[in-house]
Structure 1
Amino acid sequence: YNTTFHASTGTTPFEVVYGRSPPVITNYLPGEVKVEAVQRDLADRDECLRQLKHHLSRASDRMKTQADRHRKERSFEVGDLVFLKLRPHVQQSVAARICSKLSPRYFGPFKVIERVGVVAYRLELPHTSRIHPVFHVSLLKKAVGDAVVNATLPASLEANEDSVWEPETALEQRTVVQHGISISQVLIHWKNKPIEEATWED
């Protein structure tokens, strides 16, 4: 893995960390050394490397096969109407209420105004939108017929006064452990919001 070329970085992980090319492990050729113990060690090393590469290749092929089963080839034309998938319960910048898991998953439909690269599209979002208008194709679903799921974006993504949450007072303080790190949080009561919608903030 550390000596394998990665397309995302244009180099190997070893070169990223150390700034130089990794050492090359040459294959052992029988008869190169005269000491029998060294011969066995070199032969065992080569066999171990061969098995590791074989198992890694099998695992990679297996994961690709599983991913391809759920992958759908889809494309859109400029002018098509599509629904946009957002996940308020996962994206903190979108979350605007305590029970955001119950929020709609799809919004729109919105018009496709441009194809960006191979797998992304630019949408015609409302002028009040505060998010980037380019989305991966996996977040889009073609609109069929005249049905409208939710023609507006989540309130937290609209640039209006109602969507601005202003802290009024700190109610409590606590320390939580996330991924092994202690984080101090404060329970915030938001201005013009009921006390039930107070949230813990880092």
Structure 2
Amino acid sequence: MEQVKLIRERLLTAQSHQKSYSDVRRRDLEFCVDDWEFLKVSPMKGVMRCGKKGNLSPRFIEPYRIVRMVGHVAYELDFPSGLESIHSVFHISMLRKCIGDPSRAVPVEDVQITKELSCEEILVSILDRRVRRLKTKDVASVKVLWRKKNREEVTWETKDGMRSSYPQLF
């Protein structure tokens, strides 16, 4: 009996050590009604979301408003009519605080997405041309000004690739 008591005491000591280690990283989350929260996308094996695989796939999707607190750790979200087939109550671990103004987020309808789930890039102009000498060949490049959504970006592209995509420029 004494050995059983000793084993129980040591188990309790080990449990308290483990609990103290886990409590250091634990944070108590609590959300209020009318807060905006991002919803975690559950990973599904073999499913591509937004055209990206693995680590580059989005973890959270657009912010939704909390309608009511169902339990101590469950919240009901206000989904748009297109998502009415999904249950609207989620555990607190599936939510992430939305910092900032959610009205400034770009609506999905405004973004032009192709069939390959990529955004359309508009070529504005060719800014510069250069030929780079490699060991055995010359590579012709062009500096291209792109417009993506509402911002502009400059990249160097190969001249052959641009000629095949935009023959009217050459």
TM-score by length of structure 1 reads 0.44
Give the superposition deviation at 1:51.
1.6
Residues 82 and 112 of structure 1 are in contact (CA less than 8 Å); yes or no, is this contact kept in structure 2?
Answer: yes
Q: Is 1:108 matched up with 2:62?
A: yes
Alignment of 1:142-181 (within 5 A): 142-146=97-101
| 1:5-60 Cα deviation digits (max 9, x unpaired) | xxxxxxxxxxxxxxxxxxxxxxxxxxxxxxxxxxxxxxxxx122112211221122
TM-score by length of structure 2 reads 0.51
Determine the structure 2 residue equivalent to 1:96: 47
Q: What amino acid is the match of 1:96?
A: V
Runs of 5+ in structure 2 lacking a partner?
109-170
Q: What amino acid is the match of 2:35?
A: D
Give the superposition deviation at 1:101.
3.6
Structure-1 separation of matches of 2:88 and 2:5: 47
Determine the structure 2 residue equivalent to 1:51: 6
SS at match of 2:19: helix
Determine the structure 2 residue equivalent to 1:120: 74
Structure-2 separation of matches of 1:51 and 1:131: 51
Determine the structure 2 residue equivalent to 1:138: 93
Give the superposition deviation at 1:69.
1.2
Structure-1 separation of matches of 2:41 and 2:55: 11
Q: What amino acid is the match of 1:111?
A: R
Give the superposition deviation at 1:149.
7.2
Residues 114 and 122 of structure 1 are in contact (CA less than 8 Å); yes or no, is this contact kept in structure 2?
Answer: yes
Q: What amino acid is the match of 1:146?
A: D
- Aligned Cα root-mean-square deviation (Å): 2.5
Runs of 5+ in structure 1 lacking a partner?
1-45, 153-202
Q: What amino acid is the match of 2:7?
A: L
- Choose from 20, 23, 28 the match for 1:73: 28
Q: What amino acid is the match of 1:143?
A: C
Which stretches of structure 1, 4 residues or longer, exceed 3 Å deviation after superposition?
147-152
Residues 109 and 151 of structure 1 are in contact (CA less than 8 Å); yes or no, is this contact kept in structure 2?
Answer: no
Structure-1 separation of matches of 2:31 and 2:92: 9
Give the superposition deviation at 1:131.
3.1
Which structure's residues are more often strand, by fraction?
2
| 1:45-95 Cα deviation digits (max 9, x unpaired) | x1221122112211221221122111111211111101112242xx44xx6
Structure-2 separation of matches of 1:150 and 1:96: 25
Q: What amino acid is the match of 2:91?
A: H
Q: What amino acid is the match of 2:26?
A: R
Q: What amino acid is the match of 1:142?
A: K
- Equivalenced residue count is 103
